[in-house]
């Protein structure tokens, strides 16, 4: 990871996008680019999970293959970088371990922005050390088809939320909503265009021999076909 020099008055803004990336797809690239531009991030660091704690592993491609697909996908975007911190680590990939290590590496002159889809954020209270994560990073939540910001009102970790403001965000009537939690960093919920792509759908399409046009970068598609990934019928969504 390259860390840019930053002046004392303007900390570096580093986005983190963790994921299984099984495989990486245009939805990941779209949210990383949109958040980078909207929040003027200097860099976005893609962090493929080694052994993700929240995923069924029956259709999981080897970590080295998922890492390579991310490398191929971001190769032409200088503001996107790749971290092997989780694929190198033995055992489960917990975000808190990653963030603690990164925070130590980058120091106090870099602010961390944890980019996350709404589907994943709605599960945050089940993650390891969620409050510490919210202290160490500014979370940036982006919408995901099939999920609504109104569901945030049910998360006990968050303060009472204004239902009308959440509904406005769902409708795209406001560009963002900031949620303050005592002694944590502000959570930024963005309204951006929905991107209806998922890795599970891509795996299913590969198995069925269907087109992958506009779903993922062409070099990633070639890699999947060349290495015959996702051919087996192992995804739970298929049964
Ligand atoms: P799967 O379909 O296998 O569950 P996925 O498409 O959700 O995979 P992940 O690698 O698990 O991909 O996602 C990493 C992060 O990117 C998560 O925070 C997830 O919410 C977010 N994300 C993935 N796809 C989208 C999308 N189309 N729109 C918004 N966020 C997304």
List pLDDT tens digits, range 190-236.
999 999 999 999 999 999 999 999 999 999 999 999 999 999 766 54
Distance between CA atoms of residues 219 and 54, nearest Å:
27
The residue whose CB lies within 8 Å of the most ligand 1 atoms, and thus the one to mutate among 18, 20, 197, is 20
Return the pLDDT at 52: 63
pLDDT digit string, tens, across residues 41-88: 999 999 999 976 665 566 899 999 999 999 999 999 999 999 999 999
Asked whether the beta carbons of 223 and 68 are under 8 A apart, the reply is yes
What pTM did the predictor assign?
Answer: 0.93
Cα of 40 vs centre of ligand 1, distance in Å, is 22
Contact, 41 vs 68, CB < 8 A? no
Query: Ligand 1 center to residue 142 CA distance, Å?
Result: 10
For ligand 1, whether the C-beta of 28 sits within 6 Å is yes
Find out whether the beta carbon of 195 lies less than 6 Å from any atom of ligand 1.
yes
DSSP track, 72-85:
HHHTT-TTEEE--H
User: Is there a contact between 31 and 117 (Cβ–Cβ < 8 Å)?
Assistant: yes
Nearest CA to ligand 1 atom 21: 117
Judge whether residue 237 has pLDDT over 60.
no
pLDDT at 235: 59
Digit-coded pLDDT (tens) for 97-111? 999 999 999 999 999
Task: Please give the distance, rounded to the nearest whole angstrom, from the Cα atom of residue 6 to the centre of ligand 1.
Answer: 31
Looking at residue 3, what is its pLDDT? 52
**For residue 91, what pLDDT is reported?**
79
% of the chain with per-residue pLDDT over 70: 90
Q: Is the CB of 48 under 6 A from ligand 1?
A: no
CATH architecture of 12-198: 3-Layer(aba) Sandwich (3.40)
């Amino acid at each position: 990871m390259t860390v840019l020099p930053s002046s004392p008055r303007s900390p570096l803004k580093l986005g983190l996008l963790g994921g299984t990336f099984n495989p990486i797809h245009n939805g990941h690239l779209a949210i990383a680019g949109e958040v980078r531009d909207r929040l003027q991030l200097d860099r976005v660091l893609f962090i493929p999970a080694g052994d993700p704690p929240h995923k069924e592993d029956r259709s999981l491609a080897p970590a080295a293959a998922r890492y390579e697909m991310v490398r191929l996908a971001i190769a032409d975007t200088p503001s996107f970088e790749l971290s092997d911190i989780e694929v190198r680590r033995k055992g489960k990939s917990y975000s808190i371990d990653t963030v603690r290590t990164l925070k130590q590496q980058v120091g106090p002159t870099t602010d961390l922005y944890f980019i996350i889809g709404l589907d994943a954020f709605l599960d945050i209270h089940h993650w390891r050390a969620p409050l510490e994560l919210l202290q160490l990073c500014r979370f940036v939540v982006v919408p995901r088809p099939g999920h609504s910001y109104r569901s945030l009102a049910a998360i006990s970790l968050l303060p009472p939320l204004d239902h009308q403001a959440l509904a406005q965000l769902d409708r795209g009537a406001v560009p963002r909503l900031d949620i303050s939690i005592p002694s944590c960093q502000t959570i930024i919920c963005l309204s951006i265009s929905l991107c209806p792509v998922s890795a599970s759908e891509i795996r299913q399409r590969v198995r069925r021999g269907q087109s992958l046009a506009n779903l993922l970068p062409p070099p990633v598609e070639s890699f999947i076909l060349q290495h015959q990934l996702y051919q087996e019928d192992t995804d739970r969504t298929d049964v």
